Structure 1
Amino acid sequence: MRIVIAGAGIGGLTAALSLHAAGFEDVTVHEAAPEIRPLGVGINLLPHAVRELTELGLADRLAEIGVATAELAYFNRYGTPIWSEPRGLAAGYAWPQYSVHRGRLQMLLLEAVVDRLGPDAVRAGSRITGPGSEDLLIGADGIHSAVRAHLYPGEGPPPWNGLVLWRGVTYGEPFLTGRSMIMAGDGTQKFVAYPIETGDRTLINWIAERPLDGDASDRGNWNRPADLAEIGRHFAGWHFDWLDVPGIIAGAETAYEYPMVDRDPLPRWTFGNVTLLGDAAHAMYPIGSNGASQAIIDARVLAYALARGDLAAYEETRRPATTALQLSNREMGPEIVMKLAHERAPGGFDDIEQVIPHTERAEIAASYKRTAGFDPASLNERPSWSVDRSAAS
């Protein structure tokens, strides 16, 4: 079976590794960019994605390049705690959660593909726009997918919700546990920070978010340079006892601007010998740290389904799940606790229990885990998607 993958991002490269592990030998990845470079800033790999990469034999490499996240904590815009929870192994998962530089993860996956599938398995400067002579074409070519456009011509640019994200990295002092991921805000303006390197120095990945004055240009481009002084002006008063937000922003060498866009859920991913994967299938708001993780899961389920000769099972399993997640992210997912805290106590609070009771906060967190597929008990008990290589056809 000859399989062509459009896109050498995290989803496309994981698909190549998954298909090879399932016994498919004729797999090539085509990347439109003339060179594959380690672009981007930090991302999170949730335990359900770490499980899949572990089963692909990448656990040790992940541990080398990532920071094992210890906790996730939400605060209001004054730095007062709203909710916190352990993450990874400390939360009862059988696998850790990692914060990692996106480019380093992509290079790790690229090296594994070249090592296992051969030096000709990944072809840069090769743009795929539609099906050819292959037995299966997998469109893993991102939010501006040419393969998706072939299936759904005239869809237009991704819809924008009026918010802008500014992203950067800054060397700074450790905060809270030293491996904490924090979000502070009020439902409209937000600051996110977490370490992606620790040791002699801590490299902090940060995201600043607020409504954008005017229209958004270059939607879906993660690499548009931004003005650090402008970003800092919007967060000038955000000095917490445990984190200096303006100082973190000012300490970056550069930052990138990204209008918050996604794609509308599709009624169908697969047409004949063409299917979609990752952002090409279900680009979603970067809420809940799920974009890369869901692409990795897509890749594993696709290989599992193909090894059993049942391509339809891939979409039957993944499309309803990712549609629910896309819609949840449009409603702020677990981050809605910041909005609720602001609406109920806009001037701040002394006792969060009087604002959002623990039972309500706990259910918001648990509900999102169920929607996104990383409820601890369900994930730990779920059968593996690894397959016997001899099962592939």
Structure 2
Amino acid sequence: MEIVIAGGGIGGLATALSLHAAGFENLTVHEAAREIRPLGVGINLLPHAVRELTELGLADRLAAIGVATAELGYFDRYGSAIWSEPRGVDAGYLWPQYSVHRGRLQMMLLDAVIERLGPRSVVTGSRITGPGAEDLLIGADGIHSAIRARLFPGEGPPPWNGLVLWRGTTYGTPFLTGQSMIMIGDGTQKFVAYPIEAGERTLINWIAEKPFEGEAPDRGDWNRPADLAEVERHFADWRFDWLDVPRIIAGAEAAYEYPMVDRDPLPYWTEGNVTLLGDAAHAMYPIGSNGASQAIIDARVLAHSLAHGDLAAYEATRRPATTTLQLSNRRMGPEVVMRLAHERAPDGFDDIERVIPYAERAEIAASYKRTAGFDPASLNGSPSWSVVR
């Protein structure tokens, strides 16, 4: 069976590794860029995705490039804690959660593909726009997927929700536990930060977000340079005794600007010998740290389904789950607690229990884990997607 994978990003490379582990040998990854380089900023890999990479034999490599996230905290506009919870193994998972530089993760996967499948398994400078003579074409070519456009012509650019994101990395001192991921905001304007490289000088990944006036920047252009002075101006008074937001923004090593966009859920992913995966299938808002994680899970389920001769099982398993998650992210997912705190206590609060009772906060967090497929008990007890050969 000849398989072509369009796209050499995280989803495409994870697919190549998953298919190879399931016994498929005749496969090639085609990447439109002439060179795969470690671009981008930080991302999070949730325990369900870390499990899949672990089962692909990549646990040690992942641990070497990532920071194990120990805590997630939500704060209001004034720096007061709304909700915090342990993450990864500290939350009872059998696998960690990692914060990692997207480019370093991509290069780690690329190295593994070349080691296991050979250097000819990845072809750069090769843009695939439609099916050819292969038995299966997998469109893992991102939010601007040419393969998706072939299946759904006329869909147009990704829809924009009116918010702009600025993403950057800055060397600074550790905050809170040193392995904390934090989100500060009021449901409209938001700042996120977490370490992606540990040490005396921690590399902090950050995301700043607010409504944007005027025309949206290029939709889906992840490498458009940001104006740091403009970003800092919007967060000038976001200084807390545990984090100085303007200082982090001003000290950025690199920063990028793009509008918050996603894709509408599709009625199907597969047509003939073509199927979609990752952002090409279900691009979603960067809420709840799910983009890369869901692409990795797609890859594993697809390989398992093909190994059992049932391509339809892949879409039947993944499309309903990711559709629900896409729509949940449009409703802000677990980040809704920041909006609720602002609506109920716009001038701040002394006692969060009087604003959002514990039971309500706990259910918001637990509900999203169930929706995204990483409820601890369910994940720890779920069967493996590995194929026994």
Same fold by TM-score, threshold 0.5 exceeded?
Answer: yes
Residue 226 of structure 2: aligned partner: 226
Residue 40 (structure 2) pairs with residue 40 (structure 1): yes
| Paired residues of 2:170 and 2:254 also in contact (CA < 8 A) | no
Residues 47-196 of structure 1 mapped to structure 2, 5 A cutoff: 47-196=47-196
What TM-score does the superposition give when structure 2 sets the normalisation length?
Answer: 1.00
Residue 306 of structure 1: aligned partner: 306
Residue 387 of structure 1: aligned partner: 387
Residue 14 of structure 1: aligned partner: 14
CA distance in 1, matches of 2:12, 2:225: 26
CA distance in 2, matches of 1:301, 1:255: 34
Q: For residue 165 of structure 1, what is the amino acid of its counterpart?
A: L
CA shift at 1:342, angstroms? Answer: 0.1
State how many pairs are aligned: 389
Q: For residue 311 of structure 2, what is the amino acid of its counterpart?
A: L
| Paired residues of 1:23 and 1:388 also in contact (CA < 8 A) | no
Q: For residue 157 of structure 1, what is the amino acid of its counterpart?
A: P
CA shift at 1:232, angstroms? Answer: 0.2
Residue 252 of structure 2: aligned partner: 252
Instruction: Give the stretch that moved more between structures: 212-221 or 125-134.
Output: 212-221
CA distance in 2, matches of 1:339, 1:367: 17
CA distance in 2, matches of 1:217, 1:253: 21
Gaps of 5+ in 2: none
Aligned-partner SS, 2:300: helix
Residues 312-331 of structure 1 mapped to structure 2, 5 A cutoff: 312-331=312-331
Residue 269 of structure 2: aligned partner: 269
Aligned-partner SS, 2:371: helix
CA distance in 1, matches of 2:90, 2:250: 33
Q: For 1:185-224, what per-residue CA distance to the aligned partner results, in whole angstroms no more than 9, with x for missing partners?
A: 0000000000000113200000000001111031001100
| Paired residues of 1:223 and 1:256 also in contact (CA < 8 A) | yes
CA distance in 2, matches of 1:253, 1:71: 25
Q: For 1:68-111, what per-residue CA distance to the aligned partner results, in whole angstroms no more than 9, with x for missing partners?
A: 00000000011000000000000000000000000000000000
| Paired residues of 2:166 and 2:257 also in contact (CA < 8 A) | yes
What TM-score does the superposition give when structure 1 sets the normalisation length?
Answer: 0.99
Q: For 1:35-92, what per-residue CA distance to the aligned partner results, in whole angstroms no more than 9, with x for missing partners?
A: 1010100000000000000000000000000000000000001100000000000000
CA shift at 1:241, angstroms? Answer: 0.7
Q: For residue 24 of structure 2, what is the amino acid of its counterpart?
A: F
CA shift at 1:292, angstroms? Answer: 0.1
| Paired residues of 2:217 and 2:258 also in contact (CA < 8 A) | no
CA distance in 2, matches of 1:366, 1:133: 46
Q: For residue 74 of structure 2, what is the amino acid of its counterpart?
A: Y
Q: For residue 331 of structure 1, what is the amino acid of its counterpart?
A: R
Q: For residue 239 of structure 2, what is the amino acid of its counterpart?
A: H
Q: For 1:221-271, what per-residue CA distance to the aligned partner results, in whole angstroms no more than 9, with x for missing partners?
A: 110001000000000000011000000000113310010000000000000
Residue 358 of structure 2: aligned partner: 358
Q: Give RMSD over aligned pairs.
A: 0.5
Residue 375 of structure 1: aligned partner: 375
| Paired residues of 1:269 and 1:276 also in contact (CA < 8 A) | yes
Residue 31 of structure 2: aligned partner: 31
CA distance in 2, matches of 1:255, 1:380: 37
CA distance in 2, matches of 1:165, 1:229: 14
Residue 339 of structure 2: aligned partner: 339
| Paired residues of 1:185 and 1:191 also in contact (CA < 8 A) | yes
Aligned-partner SS, 2:191: strand
Residues 197-216 of structure 1 mapped to structure 2, 5 A cutoff: 197-216=197-216
Aligned-partner SS, 1:4: strand
CA distance in 1, matches of 2:92, 2:53: 19
Q: For 1:329-371, what per-residue CA distance to the aligned partner results, in whole angstroms no more than 9, with x for missing partners?
A: 0000000000000000000000000000000000000000000
| Paired residues of 1:194 and 1:204 also in contact (CA < 8 A) | yes
Moved over 2 A (4+): none
CA distance in 2, matches of 1:39, 1:69: 22
Residue 303 (structure 2) pairs with residue 295 (structure 1): no
CA distance in 2, matches of 1:253, 1:328: 33
CA distance in 2, matches of 1:122, 1:200: 37
CA distance in 2, matches of 1:176, 1:388: 43
CA distance in 1, matches of 2:38, 2:252: 18
Aligned-partner SS, 1:199: coil
Residue 279 of structure 1: aligned partner: 279
CA distance in 1, matches of 2:224, 2:92: 39
Q: For residue 330 of structure 1, what is the amino acid of its counterpart?
A: R
Percentage of pairs with the same residue:
84
Aligned-partner SS, 1:138: strand
| Paired residues of 1:228 and 1:254 also in contact (CA < 8 A) | no
| Paired residues of 1:191 and 1:209 also in contact (CA < 8 A) | yes
CA distance in 1, matches of 2:363, 2:10: 31
Q: For residue 134 of structure 1, what is the amino acid of its counterpart?
A: E
| Paired residues of 1:9 and 1:106 also in contact (CA < 8 A) | yes
CA distance in 1, matches of 2:337, 2:309: 43
| Paired residues of 2:277 and 2:299 also in contact (CA < 8 A) | yes
Aligned-partner SS, 1:259: strand
